[in-house]
Amino acid sequence: MNLSARLTNICQAIQPYHYDHIWDCCCDHGYLGQRIMAEHPSSQVHFVDVVQHLIDEIEIRLASVPQKNGLAQCSDVAMINLHEGKDHLVIIAGVGGDLLLEMVRSIVSRHSSLMKTNRLDFILCPVRQLHKVRQGLNDLKLGLISEKIVQDNKLFYEIIQVSNQSPVSISLVGETMWDLSNSEHIAYRNIMIEHYQKQPSHQAKLLLGLYEKIK
């Protein structure tokens, strides 16, 4: 099964750490989750989407694969129930930053006791409002594990992995993901600079200054 560059890099971002449960949220057709099932056979992989016919399609496909560590459910991602006493990775990609942050806030607030005793990681790939997402993750006291810039089908994405067990604060424009010897990274930085040069707000000026300082 061939995955897009974005989904391949999300899969590769999963740490060499055992998660009891991995949640592929807003899973669409479930291709990412199926790859995760094969590469992490000791984890229970959950496919979550609010669209019933997509979940029906995934259930049919899961019945025919040799791995039996997948479970599909039609649900609002914000309302998923994480099993207490277990370590979890929640993956959310392909949605706008406002909605993504709303989902993460709900999951965190509803599982405060789990976060005191177990590991809760997120791999996030918002399609907009990146800086709002990054600030929101800091506000939730989630710390950075890794971040990466990925170009896929002429579009740029940021893949951000955070954890309740990481003490590393999250930069509004990223720090560890930049490599300005990489032409794609230079192109992405220039796009962001040009975008914020056109915005009159104080926040835009702040972000413009941060992007211009990236060397």
pLDDT at 167: 97
Look up the pTM and report it.
0.96
92-117 mean pLDDT = 97
132, pLDDT greater than 90: yes
Over the chain, what HEC string results? CCCCHHHHHHHHHCCCCCCCEEEEECCCCCHHHHHHHHHCCCCEEEEEECCHHHHHHHHHHHCCCCCCCEEEEECCHHHCCCCCCCCEEEEEECCCHHHHHHHHHHHHHHCHHHHHHCCEEEEEECCCCHHHHHHHHHHCCCEEEEEEEEEECCEEEEEEEEECCCCCCCCCCCCCCCCCCCHHHHHHHHHHHHHHHCCCCHHHHHHHHHHHCCC
35, pLDDT greater than 70: yes
87, pLDDT greater than 90: yes
The confidence band for 1, taking pLDDT boundaries of 50, 70 and 90, is low
91-97 mean pLDDT = 96
pLDDT at 27: 86
Taking only the tens place, the pLDDT of each residue in 161-202 is 999 999 999 999 999 999 999 999 999 999 999 999 999 899
pLDDT at 125: 97
- The Cα 208–Cα 46 span in angstroms is 39
pLDDT at 15: 80
Percent of all residues in the chain with a pLDDT value above 90, rounded to a whole number = 93
Radius of gyration of the chain (CA): 18
58-71 mean pLDDT = 93
Percent of all residues in the chain with a pLDDT value above 70, rounded to a whole number = 100
Q: Where are the domains of the chain?
A: 5-172, 178-215
- Chain-wide mean pLDDT for the chain? 96
> Which fold, 5-172?
Rossmann fold (3.40.50)
